[in-house]
């Protein structure tokens, strides 16, 4: 299976989450390991195959996803390889094609608001946990100071019906330690 990487998420130090668009169907795929997390050694700048806009051959995969994380596919990291890097225009076109105009169009009617500016889908419900959407207004990005746990990058998004304030975990917005926001 080939994916075009469009999500590179920082997790706890030393770990990442990766997702991409299936080259054929355009649906989101999240490479997963059995009983383990993906290590940062799988990042391109550390000798691995994963980088934003990279076309990656995951090798043989097996679907293991369950609602709402239906995108999960078991893969073997030693078989994954970067095939190419998409040109900016081709990459952007794939993102726009995969995008929906609202958060409910991405996550379905199961999406619920949980307090001021937070949303989610109940465990075992929903049709997807990943998606792309084009906000009705430009999002605002900020660094928020947090006592005891370091600063956090946050984004306010609005689709015309739902207004959310969410943490941003895009690895490109953090320093080499994947913890400190890269101002």
pLDDT digits (tens, 9 = 90+) for 76-135: 999 999 999 999 999 999 999 999 999 999 988 888 877 666 677 778 888 899 999 998
Residue pLDDT, tens place only, 32-83: 999 999 999 999 999 999 999 999 999 999 999 998 899 999 999 999 999 9
CA distance readout (Å), 178 to 5, 20, 77? 18, 20, 21
Rounded CA gap, 58 and 100, in Å?
26
Q: What is the pTM of this model?
A: 0.91
Q: Return the structure tokens found at 79.
A: 């078989």
The pLDDT value recorded for residue 116 is 62
Residue pLDDT, tens place only, 127-159: 899 999 998 889 999 999 887 777 899 999 888
């Amino acid at each position: 299976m080939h994916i075009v990487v469009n999500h590179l998420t920082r997790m706890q130090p030393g770990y990442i989450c990766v997702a991409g668009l299936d080259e054929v169907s355009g649906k989101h795929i999240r490479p997963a390991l059995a009983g383990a997390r993906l290590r940062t050694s799988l990042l391109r700048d550390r000798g691995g195959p994963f980088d934003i806009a990279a076309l990656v051959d995951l090798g043989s995969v097996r679907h293991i996803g369950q609602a709402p994380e239906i995108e999960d596919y078991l893969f073997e990291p030693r078989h994954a390889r970067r095939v190419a890097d998409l040109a900016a225009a081709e990459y952007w076109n794939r993102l726009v094609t995969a995008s929906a105009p609202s958060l409910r169009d991405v996550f379905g009617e199961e999406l619920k608001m949980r307090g001021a500016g937070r949303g989610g889908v109940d465990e075992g419900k929903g049709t997807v946990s990943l998606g792309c959407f084009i906000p009705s207004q430009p999002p605002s990005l900020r660094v928020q100071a947090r006592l005891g746990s370091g600063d956090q990058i946050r984004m306010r998004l609005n689709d015309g019906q739902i207004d959310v304030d969410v943490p941003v975990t895009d690895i490109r917005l953090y320093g080499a330690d994947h913890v400190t926001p890269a101002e």
